[in-house]
Amino acid sequence: MKTDILIVGGGIAGLSAGARLAPHANVTLLEAESATGYHSSGRSAALYEASYGKPAIMALARASGEFFLNQSDYLSPRGLMLAGRADQAEDFATECAEMGMQRLSPAEALERLPILNPAVAPLVGYSPEAWDIDTDRLMQDCAKTIRAHGGRILTKSPVTAITPGPRWRVTTPEAIHEADLVINAAGAWADQLAQMAGVAPIGLTPMRRSMARVAAPEGLDPAPWPMVFGVHEEWYMKPDAGALLVSPADEEPTTPHDAWADDMVLAEGIAQYEAFVTRPVTRMISNWAGLRSFAPDRTLVIGADPTAQGFFWLAGQGGYGFLTSPAASQLAADLILGRAPQLEADICAALSPERFAR
């Protein structure tokens, strides 16, 4: 099967890039699993908040705001709260300033989160500049755009071999695909895919993050509550369809695999959350884990590989995939189609795979 651009990976990175490119080229997207968004993209806390991460990531997030806030209806108001103990005053103040938060009095904090325990968390900051992302609809719409322009999305299509050449040959159990350009959007498997293609890896580290969906306190509707972080992101809680998502915000280095939550890590995370509130967790509804894959400098990798013509990196999203997807996919499309990037040159350089000496 011949195509212009072959994208490996059906998470938000691959889907959003495919949607940008499909109007301009013939696109085929390969996903190893039975559905797109199966791994990290399907297990995201899904928040748009633009003052989070390294400078290049914040630049991508801010650039994505034009799409999210002005050109689409994928967002719904959430708000973000930082809760700190008295002994965390210095770090609390620093993080509040970094995220542009206003300090709340105990009474004001309880108005926004009635289960907060002011005796444990006397330090509370808040910003309204945070929104939930409708991740499922965003991914579905990207897929619709690809198909509407004649592109193909092939699930159950794991890559088993890649042969470089004037046209890349990518083998799956069902077919051999030929393409002028391969986009490596394989998430936790991106380094493995590169090595399969004879391309030097960039040193991605998949890190497990565990999540529990727990019952909301009886008699209370969590829908208007903000997402809440502990200082140093020791834990977080986010309302979710009448329940609560609670995470220990763990980052356990691991290997690429279909991740699952560690019971002890989850228990520790729930205990951290319970220490800050007055209503204990009574029931776990479900739990899962996802892999957040980071480059060595914890910044996304977007650009053509400097040593392998026709091999393009779109990897290292960490926990920022949805947050940055509009601008990251725009940058990828600009670079691939030979257009001047909309981002500043220093940001493009900070994201380029050329920053790694390989």
The predicted-structure confidence for 128-186, as pLDDT tens digits, reads as follows 999 999 999 999 999 999 999 999 999 999 999 999 988 999 999 999 999 999 999 99
SS3 state of residue 218: coil
Average pLDDT over residues 206-225: 96
CA atoms within 13 A on the CB side of 218: 3
Percentage of the chain lying above the pLDDT 90 cut: 92
Residue 43 above 80 pLDDT? no
Beta bridge partners of 302: 314
Neighbours of 258 (CB within 10 A): 10
**What local confidence, expressed as pLDDT, does residue 350 receive?**
97
CATH class of 2-45+134-203+296-355: alpha beta
pLDDT category at 258 given cuts 50, 70, 90 is confident
- Topology alike, domains 2-45+134-203+296-355 and 80-127+205-294: no
Q: Rounded to whole angstroms, how far apart are CA atoms 328 and 236?
A: 26
The reported pLDDT for the residue numbered 326 is 98
**Position with higher pLDDT, 261 vs 131:** 131
The reported pLDDT for the residue numbered 42 is 55
Provide the CATH topology of domain 80-127+205-294. Answer: D-Amino Acid Oxidase; Chain A, domain 2 (3.30.9)
Contacts of 173 (CB under 8 A, 6+ apart): 157, 158, 160
Strand partners, 2: 178
pLDDT bin (cut points 50, 70, 90) of residue 114 is very high
pLDDT confidence of residue 41: 59
CB atoms < 10 A from the CB of 71, how many? 10
Q: Which long-range contacts (CB under 8 A, 24 or more apart) does 249-256 make?
A: 249/209, 250/208, 250/209, 250/210, 251/207, 251/208, 251/209, 251/292, 252/207, 252/208, 253/205, 253/206, 253/207, 254/206, 254/207, 254/208, 254/291, 255/206, 256/187, 256/188, 256/189, 256/192, 256/206, 256/291
Reported as a pLDDT band with limits 50, 70 and 90, residue 52 is: confident
Model pLDDT for residues 267-278, shown as the tens digit of each residue: 999 999 999 999
DSSP assignment of 15-83 equals HHHHHHHTTTS-EEEE-SSSSTT-SGGGG---EE-SS-SSHHHHHHHHHHHIIIIII---EEE--EEEE
Confidence of residue 358 (pLDDT cuts 50, 70, 90): low
Q: Look at residue 264 in the predicted model and tell me its pLDDT.
A: 92
Quick: pLDDT tens for 286-304: 999 999 999 999 999 999 9
Each domain of the chain, given as residue ranges in start order, spans 2-45+134-203+296-355, 80-127+205-294
219: its two tokens: 């008699």
Q: What percent helix, strand, coil does the chain show, rounded to 5?
A: 35, 30, 40
pTM: 0.95
Statement: residue 47 has pLDDT above 80 = yes
Q: Determine the residue type at 68.
A: F
Predicted local distance difference test score (pLDDT) of residue 176: 97
